[in-house]
Amino acid sequence: MKKTSLLTFAAAMAGFLPFTLSAVADNWPNWRGPNFDGSSLEEASYPAEFTKEDAAWKTQLPGSGGSTPVVWDDAVFLTSANADNSAIFAVRIDAKTGKIVWSRKFSDEAMRDERTNTAGASAVTDGKLVYFFTGSGDLAAFDFDGNKTWDRNIEDDYGQFAMQWTFSSTPQLVHDTLYLQVLQRNEPVNGYGNTDSPIDSYLLAMNPATGKTKWKHVRENDAIMEAKEAFSTPIPITVDSRHELLIVGADCLTGHNPETGEELWRWGTYNEGKIGHWRLVPTATYGEGTVLICAPKGAPVYAIKAGGVGDISEAGNIWTSEGKEVTSDVPSPLFYDGYFYVLNGRNKFITCLHPTTGKVVWTSRIDGKTKIESSPTAVDGKIYFISHLGEVFVYSAGDNGGALLHTTMFGSSQSVNIRSSIVPADGTLYIRSDDHLYAIRK
């Protein structure tokens, strides 16, 4: 499926999504982009070779954070801890100049473990309001002038998140509903989680104008221990005119009615052995009628037929990857211009796959110094991603792709945990390092 048919797909989704085609072309309104798959259809020319010294601007952020920037016209939004990791801020940056337009503290809890802060979830916007979420449950909506319209704490309403590590799942905005998934253990862990009531995993739907709950759907699962936990994000798709939300985690993939949360279908499992530490990080990716999900810890990726009914565990699996190269423990797959791309961030491979057959079109070894946990993005025939150390990689996309076009360093000698995706929007690459945001233009 080439760009023309992707535009047709975007048009078909227009009744389901709040974004116009012009907005789809130039903006990046949620962490996986306008098509919810890591790709942009923008026709602008993007650079293949650059360094951080070529930046149109470089902005010092309040502190660190793993959230991916989102972009709407001249506004760039992200979450950031402050310098001493004592609070989380919602930040708007001017896309043209790099100036911080406003910065608003909206959470007083920034650390729950020694690995990362609570600024891991990305913002999401419809061009009117922008929504920010933290791993301690704080959820807030701001207008583009920085005025808070509402806030709430999800833990206050539904109990502490029972997670081994700091929770991070990005809210999703679809049409007139703000969604949040919480896939967690059914018992407390490391001092977090309800002790006086049952702990459920759930999909929450909220009114984006007020933040009030529309409904809460409990998502049952048979996973055990840490395998119940997931850091993925709901993804909207349309299959044969039926709108769905995809949720992956807790050893299964489910499709839900976005109006009610009702489970339409379920596929499972990628964890036949019920391994207890298989928490799930990558978000599902959709293309060509196929949902691609990545089992953790070096296990395969699975292609599942979308649009099912009931339990499709026996017949829903289209193909399963083979070989140690095609796996992903953290980066979410990319779908771009007719192909899936899987980034193996630990063993350092990027692989192009045919969506309906699973055939390996090409695979390339990544010469990186450290692991990669950012999810790949694509535009203008190029694939972009960044390592924990701040090494930026640019690869050619497509059936004749796989060539390393460029690599450059955006981190420092102290960089150890850079994982924000590189965002292409309106002819600009937004690259987040430890505590800076760069804008690269051709």
Query: How confident is residue 434, by pLDDT bands cut at 50, 70 and 90?
Result: confident
Answer for the pair 280, 230: CB distance below 8 angstroms, yes or no. yes
Instruction: Tell me the percentage of the chain whose pLDDT exceeds 90.
Output: 84
Q: Which pLDDT value is given to residue 13?
A: 44
Q: Which pLDDT value is given to residue 24?
A: 52
pLDDT (tens digit per residue) in 202-222: 999 999 999 999 999 999 999
The CA distances from residue 9 to 24, 238, 242, in Å, are: 11, 9, 13
- Residues shown for the chain: 442
Answer for the pair 79, 134: CB distance below 8 angstroms, yes or no. yes
Q: Which pLDDT value is given to residue 31?
A: 95
Instruction: Tell me the percentage of the chain whose pLDDT exceeds 70.
Output: 93
Q: Which pLDDT value is given to residue 2?
A: 39
- Pairing type for strands 310-311 and 263-267 reads parallel
Q: Dig out the tokens for 116 from the structure.
A: 């990362």
The CA distances from residue 133 to 83, 137, 184, in Å, are: 19, 7, 17
pLDDT (tens digit per residue) in 280-334: 999 999 999 999 999 999 999 999 999 999 999 999 999 999 999 999 999 999 9
Q: Which pLDDT value is given to residue 413?
A: 67
195 membership: H or E segment, kind and range: none
Mean pLDDT computed over 375-382: 98
Handedness of CA 420, 425, 429, 435 (dihedral sign): negative
- 4 in helix, strand or coil? helix
Res 353 pLDDT > 60: yes
pLDDT (tens digit per residue) in 150-187: 999 999 999 999 999 999 999 999 989 999 999 999 99
Sheet holding 310-311: strands in order across? Answer: 235-239, 242-249, 252-256, 263-267, 310-311
Instruction: Look up the domain containing 196 and give its range.
Output: 3-441
More confident call, 247 vs 8: 247
**CB proximity list for 354: less than 8 A, separation 6 or greater:** 339, 340, 361
Query: What spatial distance separates the first Cα and last Cα of the chain, rounded to whole Å?
Result: 27
Q: Which pLDDT value is given to residue 196?
A: 85
| Number of domains making up the chain | 1
- The amino acid that residue 437 corresponds to is L
Answer for the pair 126, 71: CB distance below 8 angstroms, yes or no. no
How many Å apart are CA 76 and CA 59, to the nearest integer?
12
pLDDT (tens digit per residue) in 11-33: 444 444 443 334 455 899 999 99
Query: How confident is residue 4, by pLDDT bands cut at 50, 70 and 90?
Result: very low
Sheet holding 213-218: strands in order across? Answer: 172-174, 177-182, 202-206, 213-218
Query: How confident is residue 117, by pLDDT bands cut at 50, 70 and 90?
Result: confident
The CA distances from residue 203 to 79, 180, 184, 260, 310, in Å, are: 23, 6, 11, 10, 18
- 343 in helix, strand or coil? strand
What values do phi and psi take at 91, rounded to 5?
-130, 135
DSSP 82: -
| Average pLDDT value for the chain | 92
More confident call, 66 vs 145: 145
How many Å apart are CA 152 and CA 166, to the nearest integer?
19
How many Å apart are CA 347 and CA 21, to the nearest integer?
38
Q: Which of 44, 214, 18 is nearest to 124 (CA)?
A: 18
Weakest-pLDDT range from 41-45, 124-128, 375-379:
41-45
Q: What is the CATH number of the domain that holds 130?
A: 2.130.10.10
Q: Which of 362, 220, 244, 350 is nearest to 304 (CA)?
A: 244
More confident call, 26 vs 231: 231
DSSP 128: S
